[in-house]
Structure 1
Amino acid sequence: MEVNPPKQEHLLALKVMRLTKPTLFTNIPVTCEDRDLPGDLFNQLMKDDPSTVNGAETLMLGEMLTLPQNFGNIFLGETFSSYISVHNDSNQIVKDILVKVLKPLDVKTKFYNAETDEVFLEAQIQNITTSPMFMEKVSLEPSMMYNVVELNTVKQVGEGESTFGSRTYLQPLDTRQYLYCLKPKQEFAEKAGIIKGVTVIGKLDIVWKTNLGERGRLQTSQLQRMAPGYGDVRLSLEAIPDTVNLEEPFHITCKITNCSSERTMDLVLEMCNTNSIHWCGVSGRQLGKLNPSSSLYLALTLLSSVQGLQSVSGLRLTDTFLKRTYEYDDIAQVCVVSSTIQVES
């Protein structure tokens, strides 16, 4: 009977010798409340332990250095020194050899489109290592089309304070959310009206330090987002009051933009009343011709018959050239309150 030799899983033998630095000693504190049976015994033992930090005995991190016992992990963005030996143990030729060692952070991004051309970027950063990190910098480098405003500080009289407080440590498996507002530069906004299609937003630049001050850096690839599809006609609100009185007329200002770069439109405005919001004016009015990449401003009057937070809906725009109707609902929300009447005695 013929026995096949065992199949070799890997053709290459990899040997790595890392030049590592000493690490801080870590202890596992045992604590209890004063009313428990041991009383203050555990706390006194930790204070007498020479490896603990004075005044912070309950922290796992000690003040003594220990020599590394194993190779440890190498994370993406960290600097390390080592010797790598790759040996081909087989009789085959091996090509396209890559070394990838581990990523320390998990980065997720979300885009939110505002009523205007502004874009809000939310970046969720998670520490997926086994040790805390000092987050030195998390910034967004925008592309040439945008200006960026960081929304991660609380404005005060002096300098802005970070929303995360004075401690910028990110514990293992903890996640932080960073928010940025991007606005198109004037030359791009005026040239195209709105930025269409897939646009490049920019890239995140993250810098951190580990326990002994080793510095790591990670830059993401260029972030891209799909611009919202407004169709050929875009309607946006330029002015609307936050609070209005019940059964009293209030005014809003709308901006209508012809997003087409080639075709002129002939628009007709229709206003459809809802159960709570009523339009004041003549429906079916002619707005006239609107040239490509041009806009017009329209002042409208409404009246609400129901209190509370009400949605402004019911606008219809019809292009008489193509016989195409565009519907706009939930354009904005307004708070309706009852008007107070003062009676003199």
Structure 2
Amino acid sequence: MSASQGPHSLAFRVMRLCRPSFRIDHPLRLDALDHILGEDFFEDNACDFRSDLCYSFSGDGKRKPAMEDVGYWRRFELADLSDLIGFPGVLVLPQAFGAIYLGETFCSYISINNSSKYEIRDIIIKAEIQTERQRVLLLDTARSPVESIRSGGRYDFIVEHDVKELGPHTLVCTALYNDGDGERKYLPQFFKFVVANPLSVRTKVRSVKETTYLEACIENHTKSSLYMDQVDFEPSVQWTATTVGCDYDKPNAGPLSRQIINPPAFVRPGGTNNYLYQLKMSVHEPAQVKEEVNSVLGKLQITWRTNLGEPGRLQTQQILGNPITQKEVELQILELPLVIVSGTPFLVHLCLMNHTDRRMGPFEVFLSQENSAEEKVIMANGLWTLALSQLEAFGSTHFSLNLVATKVGALKMSGIAVVCSREKKIYDTLAAIEIFVGFK
């Protein structure tokens, strides 16, 4: 039997459930003499009785001397510091649906009322949230219909939904019921609201040699101050992160050791708060190393509370950094002497690493002298080329180069390269390093 349309005995009423707000009063304080002498009486400089009549009444009705200048403009001055708050201790229930923000929990009190003179029976009630992308069922009494609602009675229920999408939302409430004459009717009602974005997150990524810095700026778009409970950064697998200028991080232990937390902070409406993270590559297992390292840095988990403690939570999308190419064979300096003297040989300790899953080599490490004459201030002390054996997959080897400086001052040491002995292919060249060479 199809559900009939027409006048309905039932009607839905929807009220959003949220915490009350503070009532703030800004009273205009008056002087009792204004009702007797007029508000401009003390503004008349020709008044001879100013010193005798300049008084006001306290709250208990007692007469007390007033200040010498009690003109009308003083009515806006604070008599006590408590007047600055303007809170009379009264809370106000929400008078409208109000603003709904992404990351909050939408909670609604729904009442279905019987306004007819008859008892309504076998009511199937459904409530769902519709967005542009999905439909979420909040309540369905199809398996256990409401037996009856008497004339003038109602049936109440509460629904909750975690808001995870921006834009228009529709709360759809439907009822399928038997009317007083036994006719089956279908009642749909729609309640629309828009979900706004409470925060905007702007990020900047900068790379300095082997370190990447991530700056996150969080701006409050709501009309009230937000208590930023936590701003957690969860780096991806190949990164480790520390917060710059913050000693509130979790200890590096346990399953949450990759979670970086900032201390709580208040952000006023339209205000911003900035966070800075230092990220470094972290490879715990050789199998995790790839030639092309994923540029995904991680994501932010943001939780906050409003003035009266209502919680909210947002998770950003994956934050991307600059693409990083992992070298097949990498040459790194491990240690340089603290004191380098001109004409005296010194050792540079280096490490050669194989980042591939196959055997590489053999290799030759040499100090190039082919560029400008300026580079010859650092020369090899002995053989120009050092031979190294093959490296196993994901293996490494340590070795030292014997060098000598021929000049004094701040010099640049460059040209140290590694080449495959068979293919004559240069795999890596060290960037120029500035050293200071002193006298003997």
Give the TM-score of the pair, scaled to structure 2. 0.51
1:198–1:312 CA distance, 2 compared to 1 (3 A)? same
CA-to-partner distance for each residue in 1:26-49, whole Å, 9 max, x for gaps?
A: 799xxxxxxxxx9x9989835249
Q: Does 1:18 align with 2:16?
A: yes
The equivalent residue for 2:102 is 76
The equivalent residue for 1:102 is 196
The equivalent residue for 2:184 is none
**Structure exhibiting the larger radius of gyration computed from Cα positions:** 2
Q: Distance in 1 between matches of 2:360 and 2:133?
A: 56
1:54 counterpart SS class = helix
Q: Distance in 2 between matches of 1:293 and 1:23?
A: 62
Q: Distance in 2 between matches of 1:311 and 1:54?
A: 67
Q: Give 2:352's match in structure 1, choosing from 229, 241, 256.
A: 256
Gaps of 5+ in 1: 1-14, 29-37, 85-93, 156-164
Q: Does 1:54 align with 2:78?
A: no
CA-to-partner distance for each residue in 1:299-344, whole Å, 9 max, x for gaps?
A: 2335373535x5542222222333322452535444x2756x9xxx
- Matches for 1:128-147 after TM superposition, within 5 Å: 128-143=221-236
Are the equivalent residues in 1 in contact too, given 2:239–2:280 (CA < 8 A)? yes
Q: Distance in 2 between matches of 1:76 and 1:304?
A: 66
Q: Tell me which amino acid in the other structure corresponds to 1:315.
A: I
Q: Distance in 2 between matches of 1:230 and 1:306?
A: 36
The equivalent residue for 2:380 is 280
Structure 1 residue 62: deviation in Å? 5.0
The equivalent residue for 1:10 is none
Structure 1 residue 176: deviation in Å? 0.7
CA-to-partner distance for each residue in 1:143-202, whole Å, 9 max, x for gaps?
A: 5666654445249xxxxxxxxx9872223231312315456363x2x4456674327654
Are the equivalent residues in 1 in contact too, given 2:329–2:352 (CA < 8 A)? yes
- Matches for 1:81-92 after TM superposition, within 5 Å: 81-82=107-108
Q: Distance in 2 between matches of 1:153 and 1:21?
A: 33
1:289–1:113 CA distance, 2 compared to 1 (3 A)? farther
Q: Does 1:169 align with 2:266?
A: yes
The equivalent residue for 2:366 is 270
Q: Does 1:291 align with 2:392?
A: yes
How many aligned positions are there?
Answer: 286
CA-to-partner distance for each residue in 1:273-317, whole Å, 9 max, x for gaps?
A: 573751333323322333332212122335373535x55422222
- Matches for 1:175-324 after TM superposition, within 5 Å: 175-181=273-279, 184=282, 186=284, 188=285, 190-191=286-287, 196-198=292-294, 202-223=298-319, 228-240=324-336, 244-245=339-340, 247=342, 250-272=346-368, 275=374, 278-281=378-381, 282-300=383-401, 301=403, 303=405, 305=407, 307-308=409-410, 311-324=412-425
Q: Tell me which amino acid in the other structure corresponds to 1:228.
A: I
Gaps of 5+ in 2: 1-12, 27-68, 111-130, 136-164, 167-194, 249-261
Structure 1 residue 256: deviation in Å? 1.4
Q: Distance in 2 between matches of 1:168 and 1:54?
A: 25
The equivalent residue for 1:12 is none
1:183–1:319 CA distance, 2 compared to 1 (3 A)? closer
CA-to-partner distance for each residue in 1:224-244, whole Å, 9 max, x for gaps?
A: 657621332212222235x64
CA RMSD of aligned residues (A): 4.5
Structure 1 residue 126: deviation in Å? 3.0
Are the equivalent residues in 2 in contact too, given 1:133–1:209 (CA < 8 A)? yes
- Matches for 1:28-39 after TM superposition, within 5 Å: none
1:260 counterpart SS class = coil
Are the equivalent residues in 1 in contact too, given 2:283–2:289 (CA < 8 A)? no
The equivalent residue for 1:45 is 76
Q: Tell me which amino acid in the other structure corresponds to 1:254.
A: L
